[in-house]
Structure 1
Amino acid sequence: MPPPRRVAVAASAGRDSTALLHCTLRAAQPLGIEVLALHVHHGLMEQADDWLQQVRMQARRWGAVFDHRRLQGGPAAGDSLEAWARQGRYGALAEMAAEADCPLVLLAHHRRDQAETWLLQALRGAGPAGLSAMPLQAHRAGIVWARPWLTLPREAIEAYVRRHRLRHVDDPSNADRDLARGRLRREVWPALRAAFPQAETALAAAAARAQQSAQLAEEVAALDHPAAVVEGLLAIAPWRELPPARRRNLLRAWLIDATGVLPPETLLVRLEQELPGPGARRWPAPGGELRLQRGHLSFTAGPVWRRGAPG
């Protein structure tokens, strides 16, 4: 496969992405590949304007094309600031890459990031999909998202920055105790590494094994799909004939396809206990409701139905 005509780097002005932008340019320019530096201004820090200008100037000095987006608004009451920022960041990066006809976006996550993500997901009670943490490569919205440094230790990136004397910023939110990852980095990670020096390598390896398990679950769900899913509806009778683990696995996969999000475990447990049940029934679900009619489960987007509501 020929190399792409252009490649983008998500550049925040932090140490890791600054190093990745510099390294990508050194590798791409001799090959005639255009490099884009894509920056997302979250509007959350007083220094954000300075960070935008730093990436702009570095891109100009090093020979990269620069583009940026400013996120508008903020998380709704009760929503996670981290989740809002992450969703907005990837949406903005995808928009810029698509406008530039750029099929590849590089992200600067490294091995410690992967280990931290696995640990946070484990503390949230995640299954194999969550414990998979971050993939080396993913395809979304016609774009390849790649993390070329995901298996590298943070120390290797620090050494690269020192060697090339790269100017970068330190985002204070990385150590913010009000954020889950900030608490992990300041309070948990130092103690964990002191007690278990191999923690970073071991947790990153656990993420890789979880990715294999999640892929296997997807393949099994694909095998069970034809017998139990009819025109997008989950047929309860053949679904109930599956062994318990495959039954829950297919239910989770069907719900992801129907709602577009990973369903809460509480919903999976409730459906397993209450399906099929007598007559027509309803269950609230992310973004809408589930309806059981004539032995088939369907999803309808819209306001969530509650017990006692009209209908």
Structure 2
Amino acid sequence: MAASATPRTGDVVTVAFSGGLDSTALLHAAVRAAAGRQRVVALHVHHGLQPQADDWAAHCEQVAASLGAGFACTRLSGAPQRGDSVEAWARAGRHRALHDMTVAAGADLLLLAHHRRDQAETFLLQALRGAGPAGLAGMPRQQWRDGVCWARPWLDRPREAIQAYAEQQGLRWIEDPSNADPRFARNRLRQTFWPAFPGGETGLAQAARWAREAHELAAEIAQVDLAVLASPERLDLAALSRLSPARASNALRAWLSTHTTPPASLIERLLSEWHAGATASWPAPGGMCHAYRDGLHWSAEVVATPAARPVDLSVPGLHRQPDWQGAWVVEPGAPGIAAERLAQLTQQGRAGGEQFQWAPGSVPRSLKKACQAAGLPPWRRAGPLLFDVDGRLLAVAGLGMDARAFARQDEPQLSVRWLDDSALPQSEGEGGGPA
């Protein structure tokens, strides 16, 4: 059996190696396919959940050596918390360990031994949980995650073919007793469903392929819609409401996914509860969704207003303020503030009673009214605010510089503006100009 994946030029390929039938066959096939042109490294994750775990790690190291493959092993630390899923804890730890070991080995291709029955089981379990197309799509044949390509070259192969290959090659593998434990959903499925529906594997795997096509098509349509309806900071709810219900739900989910993992209930609430002109908020994992002036906005969760602290903005560049989830952008230009006044600043939240002047000669207004006039949403009015050493207001996040702080035309001056994290350019440098 071939173990080919996407062609690449790297010198190292890694294989996730539990020591079971499937991964043992894959490691053997990968070494044979490499034929000395690439180094193959077996990666074993020691979960520490079984009494035999140490013996399994030793077995895997011996098998890798006998096949001429390298070997690396990581033992997971910690344990599942009370009430946590053991499967989910082990899966998350295994994924981290496999990624880190692949990078440490100097590779960017990681082979996994999932086969057609694994894909069929994933589809069925996701369907029982009420998953949408993304969940029903199952496991992708290949996927890049943080610089590593996770590839499943045998995803369309039946398990019987893998077992026949392993027996033909005289391979030795581990039988994990936990695979018979009915407490785990996948094991119950294997013990009850496949004996009752032996031909169901092919159809369910095909259904997963159709679901993946539907998911990819929905993602493409969402990109087309969001190019017209949205920016990183705002989704046009009025325009969204003019789409068909399915298309609106798809675009909304895609936009929210850039900020959080939106549950289906949140999508349903937003589409059913919002109406033109409404100002409302909905809690979401990690933050809040806000409807304001027919736009949807996202704000990350803030536990409390950050404490006042000194800042120096006298050097042009990007000055990140993690506590406020944004950054001050300082650039040469007029109108601006004298550079020496920006060296010793106090950054803090609103205290009440502040006034802001839009332009020279205009009447200062309360900060609340200035925010309302500028269309600044309520959840973005907390600050930060910048004050000089004499306690005079210089700038307000979302509003800009106070006109009373402008320098004379003959003075060296710097302009100051605020950007939320969602609008920050990824390639711009910090505190000193472009990177």
TM-score normalised to structure 2 length = 0.65
Structure 2 residue 28 is matched with structure 1 residue 27: no
Report the residue type matching 2:251 in the other structure.
L
Deviations 1:53-98 (A, max 9, x none): 1111111222111111111223334332222211211111111111
**Distance across 2 between alignment mates of 1:38 and 1:298:** 43
Matched position secondary structure for 2:183: coil
Say which structure is richer in strand: 2
Structure 1 residue 16 and structure 2 residue 17: aligned? no
Deviation, structure 1 residue 280:
3.4
1:307 counterpart residue number: none
Unmatched tracts of structure 1, length 5 or more: 305-310
Task: Quickly say closer, same or farther: Cα 1:143–1:276, change in 2 above 3 A.
Answer: farther
Q: What displacement does 1:173 show?
A: 2.2
Aligned to 1:237: 238
d(CA) in 1 for partners of 2:84, 2:239: 38
Could you tell me which residue of structure 1 aligns to residue 121 of structure 2? 116
Q: 2:60 aligns with which of 32, 41, 55?
A: 55
The match for 2:159 is 154
Structure-1 separation of matches of 2:105 and 2:243: 47
Greater gyration radius: 2
The aligned length equals 299
Unpaired runs of 5+ in structure 2? 1-6, 304-381, 383-435
2:146 equivalent to 1:144: no
The range that moved more, 275-284 or 44-53, is: 275-284
* Equivalent in the alignment of 2:183: 178
Answer 1 or 2: higher relative contact order, Cα 8 Å, separation at least 6: 1
Deviations 1:223-262 (A, max 9, x none): 0012221233222122212211110001111122111x3x
2:136 is the counterpart of 1:131: yes
Deviations 1:141-162 (A, max 9, x none): 1111111111111111111111
Alignment of structure 1 residues 1-311 onto 2, 5 Å:
2-30=8-36, 32-193=37-198, 198-259=199-260, 261=261, 263-276=262-275, 279-302=278-301
SS at match of 2:43: strand
Which whole-Å CA distance do the structure 2 matches of 1:274 and 1:295 have between them? 13
- Whether the 8 Å contact between 2:15 and 2:43 is mirrored in structure 1 is yes
Change (3 A) 1:177 1:235: same
CA distance in 2 between partners of 1:283 and 1:70 (Å): 41
Which has more helix, going by share of residues? 1
CA contact (8 A) 1:111 1:204 kept: yes
Look up the equivalent residue of 2:41 and give its one-letter code. L
